[in-house]
């Protein structure tokens, strides 16, 4: 394992691939992908008859509760949903009838129990269309991936949807397979909406972004794996401030406009890349690598704020 990583025993995740087969030509755009939360929630409502109470598993796909532990409420931000959708690349993507798209979905810890519920919602979304009634698709198959990347099909469209037995990867084993590095490139691929004090960071430093990554990692590991990997975050935050940044191309990108009654409001987030170097880099790499699994910022569960560490 990375020599500076804490004890992460019990921290597990599962990679799952949802294979969507489109029924007509469709141009899959970044905007359509980043609006998945709204569209999936609409599809979830369509599953139930009027007046019928939804299954709690469906509700937890979109809204999470604060911990019943007051100390945990003080230390951790409200966790996101128990899964993370990674974006399709590259976008936009022009699809023809019969073409398939794979969405990689990562389930965190006990969040594996939500895989069947999310699959049902995706199947319902296929009947409504990916976005605004366009892009009809069928959930064609679901595959689970083990720690070494071997995939196994666990469901296809002619079968009943039920609970699945997913392969799990131990986070400490996963981290142990990365080499020591003296520099890395952090690349934000989809916009990360980070708004400290309600104001966007138009050209942020890494030190300004790192607290968001750390809070995302610690809240998700505590909520879904019962792990508290950081006793005191101040030393990690100080290390992030001391790293050397090279070729900082992080910037704000608008990806959607909201038409209001009085004005148009642009929505966006941070994209771009930055090269990081410095003596303290190794002590932060476990946070950055786990963060790359979890996405970042508002809508992180639904493909927003996806970043890589290379």
Average pLDDT score, the chain: 90
Give the DSSP H/E element, type plus range, for residue 141: strand 137-145
Query: Helix 281-294 and helix 234-242: axis angle, to 10°?
Result: 100
Q: Which of 121, 148, 170 is the last residue before a domain boundary? A: 170
Q: Which of 170, 204, 238 is the last residue before a domain boundary? A: 170
Please name the residue that has the structure tokens 């990108």. 253
Higher pLDDT, 223 or 71: 223
**pLDDT beyond 60 at 99:** yes
Collapsed DSSP state (helix, strand, coil) of residue 229: coil
**CA distance linking residue 162 with residue 59, whole number of Å:** 17
| pLDDT tens digits, one per residue of 201-221 | 889 999 999 999 999 999 999
Tokens in use for 294?
């979890």
Higher pLDDT, 70 or 222: 222
Q: Which of 128, 146, 170 is the last residue before a domain boundary? A: 170
Domain span at 75: 12-170
Structural contact between residues 273 and 188, judged by C-beta atoms closer than 8 angstroms:
yes
Question: Quick one: 136 and 231 in the same domain?
Answer: no
**Cis status of the peptide bond prior to 92, with omega within 30 of 0:** yes
Dihedral angle at the C-alpha atoms of 243, 292, 199, 270, nearest 10 degrees? 90
Please name the residue that has the structure tokens 């030190």. 207
Question: Quick one: 134 and 53 in the same domain?
Answer: yes
Higher pLDDT, 70 or 41: 41
Query: Helix 115-128 and helix 36-47: axis angle, to 10°?
Result: 90
User: What global pTM score does this model have?
Assistant: 0.92
Could you give the residue ranges of the DSSP H alpha helices within 181-301? 206-225, 234-242, 281-294
- Average pLDDT score over residue span 13-24: 97
Q: What is the DSSP secondary structure assignment for residue 302, as one 8-state letter?
A: B
Question: Quick one: 117 and 229 in the same domain?
Answer: no
Q: How many domains does the chain divide into?
A: 2
pLDDT score of 247: 93
**Cis status of the peptide bond prior to 90, with omega within 30 of 0:** yes
Give the DSSP H/E element, type plus range, for residue 118: helix 115-128
Tokens in use for 16?
């799952």
Give the DSSP H/E element, type plus range, for residue 16: strand 12-22
Question: Quick one: 164 and 204 in the same domain?
Answer: no
Structural contact between residues 297 and 204, judged by C-beta atoms closer than 8 angstroms:
no
Question: Quick one: 197 and 275 in the same domain?
Answer: yes
């Amino acid at each position: 394992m990375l020599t500076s990583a804490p004890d992460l025993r019990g921290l597990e995740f599962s990679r799952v691939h949802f294979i969507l087969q489109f029924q007509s030509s469709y141009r899959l755009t970044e905007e359509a992908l980043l609006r998945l939360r709204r569209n999936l929630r609409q599809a979830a409502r369509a599953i139930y008859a009027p007046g019928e109470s939804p299954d709690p598993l469906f509700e937890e796909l979109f809204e999470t509760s604060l911990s019943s532990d007051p100390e945990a409420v003080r230390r951790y931000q409200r966790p996101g949903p128990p899964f993370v959708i990674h974006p399709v690349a590259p976008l936009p993507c022009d699809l023809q009838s019969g073409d398939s798209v794979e969405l990689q979905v990562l389930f965190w810890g006990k969040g594996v129990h939500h895989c069947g519920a999310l699959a049902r919602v995706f199947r319902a979304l296929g009947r409504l269309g990916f976005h605004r009634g366009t892009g009809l698709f069928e959930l064609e198959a679901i595959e689970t991936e083990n720690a070494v990347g071997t995939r196994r099909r666990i469901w296809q469209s002619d079968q009943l949807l039920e609970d699945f037995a997913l392969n799990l990867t131990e986070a400490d084993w996963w981290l142990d397979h990365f080499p020591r590095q003296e520099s890395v490139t952090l690349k934000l691929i989809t916009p990360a909406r980070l708004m400290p004090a309600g104001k966007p960071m138009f050209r942020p430093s890494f030190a300004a972004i790192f607290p968001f990554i750390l809070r995302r990692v610690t809240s998700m590991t505590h909520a879904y794996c019962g792990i508290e990997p950081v006793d005191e975050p101040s030393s990690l935050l100080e290390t992030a401030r001391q790293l050397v940044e090279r070729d900082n191309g992080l910037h704000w990108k608008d990806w959607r406009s909201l038409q209001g009654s009085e004005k148009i409001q642009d929505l966006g987030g941070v994209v771009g890349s930055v090269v990081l170097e410095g003596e303290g880099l190794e002590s932060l790499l476990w946070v950055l690598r786990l963060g790359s699994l979890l996405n970042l910022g508002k809508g992180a569960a639904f493909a927003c704020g996806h970043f890589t560490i290379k």
